[in-house]
Structure 1
Amino acid sequence: MKRVLLIGIVGIIIFSFSACSSLSDMYNKKDTQKINVVSNINPHPKGKKPASPAPRNILKAGDKGNDVKDIQKRLNKFGYTVNEDGDFGEQTVYAVMDFQHRHGLTTDGIVKGSTLDDLKKKPASDVMYKPTAQVVSGFNSAEVEGIIDKLDTSSYTDYYIMVSIPQQMVYIFNGSSGKWKLINSFQCASGTGGTPTVKGHFFVGIKGPQFESQNGVILKYFTQFQGNYLFHSVLFDKRGNLVDGTLGRSASHGCIRLALENAKYIYDNVPIGSGILIQ
């Protein structure tokens, strides 16, 4: 019995051939040598590579491959600066989430269905990621920029948020580490002593137009920074009337309260994946 081993990209397949009893009568020695030569031909001749796997319909964190690289290239056409390395890491996850937010989709960071369809469309100006921003409020910019540029900042975008709890102030920056430019600043209300705001380094997470608290008040334009801790507006009732507009001192249950227009500013302008420092 003669066995021929063919090694392909998808595994090892062994074909067994049974020699016929009359083989010696059908082929002379020269012919048999020809059979051996043909049987041992490389299934993937030099210069010819096996076909790549078909693109997947669902891509998520941890996936790797050329189809991931294709998604990264498509994200960059929408203005993002994602490494086209074929690795669906945090940078890609945040970019996908921000893309989904701009397109009114569920911000889960998974590429499938409508997200995949929209990524294949021609980019429109109203949904493009914008790496630069206009200065809205540069209050005390030199002092604040001097402080943040000395810090170890990390952001997956060209934006950064710094919250000073002692000052009850929020500062929004545009640029990059060591070269941040203050573009907006406004008062806030952090958590009280019994329900303090968490401190540390975070990243902008999911966003939403509004939600209702357990006691029935409405918080508008929320932006997540850690778990259930959010930036959001001051408190309104279900008819839109202001319930509590306290700013400039500790007043919340741990979230960062903002004037309605400032909560909307972060919601509209600070991309998902932007770095945050609360101190």
Structure 2
Amino acid sequence: MKRILLIGIIGMIIIFSFSACGNLSGIYNKKDAQKVNVVSNVTPHPKEKKPVSPPPRSVLRAGDKGDDVKDIQKKLKKFGYSVNEDGDFGEETVYAVMDFQHRHGLTTDGVVGGTTLEDLKKKPVAEVMYKPTAQVVSGFNSTYSEGIVNKLDTQSYTDYYIMVSIPEQMVYIFNGSIHKWKLINSFQCSSGTGGTPTVKGQFFVGIKGSQFESENGAILKYFTQFQGNYLFHSVLFDKNGNLVDGTLGRSASHGCIRLALENAKYIYDNVPIGSGILIQ
């Protein structure tokens, strides 16, 4: 009897052990399941993507901004222009581009694209480099003219400046910087008459050209714009190259500043686009 009872007790213990193990297994399975569920609900952090720069534009003009503008400014500096590499296609860059185009025989519209862009990629040569310094051609009356211009808060996008004195009928060309201008050339001119006066004020050297024909058929050579249709240009010639009107030293034009042929060519060749101008 005792032996039967003992065997029964041992059997119950074995059954309880299996039952307990089953319960514990269930507990562990639930915990494992919870762990799996928690892990499966976590969203992995995506890898941070580096910002992608937009591709360079094929045409750049005034008002544009960006790294491709900065690249153009860097190329201009290789050709001698002192432009800021700020990525802003402002007036300073526009005038530098226009002068670059003039030196390369291109349309001076200040827009970078096509041939202008291709020429900017080329290696600079001396013939087309911007020259920040210039030799003195004439220092006539330098103390007087420098005394006037260096008292003014002049503005120029280049190392050159032009001052025109209407009362004197004189043009003065300077090289340097604000309050440090040095006279490098001066010559007589002929301004507008009382009926068609020359505009006065502060301007900048604009587009240039080898010659144009006036309404009355006269040929005017080596023109340099300073305001709209107001230009520096030579005295008058006919279509055969003969001098028609060489008046200088007094008012005689329709508003432009007339110059001797060699002096009109001097401004055309040597005073960069973007240079400041004062007419008073």
With the length of structure 2 as denominator, give the TM-score of the two structures.
0.86
Which of the numbers 34, 37, 43 marks the counterpart of 1:37? 43
State the partner residue of 1:23: none
For the residues of structure 2 that align with 1:239 and 1:29, how far apart are their CA atoms?
A: 100
Question: 4+ residue runs of structure 1 moved beyond 4 angstroms?
Answer: none
State the partner residue of 1:170: 171
For the residues of structure 2 that align with 1:70 and 1:229, how far apart are their CA atoms?
A: 34
- SS of the equivalent of 1:37 reads coil
- SS of the equivalent of 2:266 reads helix
For the residues of structure 2 that align with 1:246 and 1:112, how far apart are their CA atoms?
A: 42
Shift, 1:277, TM fit: 0.1
Counterparts in 2 of 1:52 and 1:193: CA distance versus 1, 3 Å: same
For the residues of structure 2 that align with 1:243 and 1:32, how far apart are their CA atoms?
A: 98
For the residues of structure 2 that align with 1:32 and 1:109, how far apart are their CA atoms?
A: 63
Aligned letter for 2:102? H
Shift, 1:56, TM fit: 0.4
1:251 equivalent to 2:252? Answer yes
Shift, 1:221, TM fit: 0.2
Shift, 1:35, TM fit: 6.3
State the partner residue of 1:125: 126
- SS of the equivalent of 1:41 reads coil
For the residues of structure 2 that align with 1:215 and 1:255, how far apart are their CA atoms?
A: 15
For residues 161-185 of structure 1, give each alpha carbon's deviation from its aligned partner in whole angstroms, at most 9, with x where no partner exists.
Answer: 0000000000000000000000000
For the residues of structure 2 that align with 1:223 and 1:29, how far apart are their CA atoms?
A: 83
Aligned letter for 2:226? F
Shift, 1:43, TM fit: 3.9
For the residues of structure 2 that align with 1:35 and 1:51, how far apart are their CA atoms?
A: 32
With the length of structure 1 as denominator, give the TM-score of the two structures.
0.86
For the residues of structure 1 that align with 2:147 and 2:70, how far apart are their CA atoms?
A: 38
For the residues of structure 1 that align with 2:148 and 2:53, how far apart are their CA atoms?
A: 50
Counterparts in 2 of 1:136 and 1:43: CA distance versus 1, 3 Å: same
For the residues of structure 2 that align with 1:80 and 1:34, how far apart are their CA atoms?
A: 62
Counterparts in 2 of 1:43 and 1:168: CA distance versus 1, 3 Å: same
State the partner residue of 1:234: 235
* Higher radius of gyration, 1 or 2: 2
State the partner residue of 1:150: 151
For the residues of structure 2 that align with 1:35 and 1:223, how far apart are their CA atoms?
A: 74
For the residues of structure 2 that align with 1:80 and 1:148, how far apart are their CA atoms?
A: 23
Counterparts in 2 of 1:80 and 1:29: CA distance versus 1, 3 Å: same
State the partner residue of 1:278: 279
For the residues of structure 2 that align with 1:34 and 1:137, how far apart are their CA atoms?
A: 87
For the residues of structure 1 that align with 2:107 and 2:176, how far apart are their CA atoms?
A: 28
Structure with greater proportional helix content: 2
Shift, 1:28, TM fit: 8.2
For the residues of structure 1 that align with 2:72 and 2:38, how far apart are their CA atoms?
A: 52
State the partner residue of 1:20: none
For the residues of structure 1 that align with 2:82 and 2:215, how far apart are their CA atoms?
A: 39
For the residues of structure 1 that align with 2:38 and 2:115, how far apart are their CA atoms?
A: 59
Please provide the CA RMSD for this pair.
Answer: 1.4
Shift, 1:42, TM fit: 4.3
The share of aligned pairs that are identical, in percent, is 81
Q: List alignment gaps of at least 5 residues for structure 2.
A: 1-32
For the residues of structure 2 that align with 1:32 and 1:272, how far apart are their CA atoms?
A: 71
Shift, 1:152, TM fit: 1.5
For the residues of structure 2 that align with 1:246 and 1:129, how far apart are their CA atoms?
A: 33
State the partner residue of 1:217: 218
Counterparts in 2 of 1:169 and 1:36: CA distance versus 1, 3 Å: same
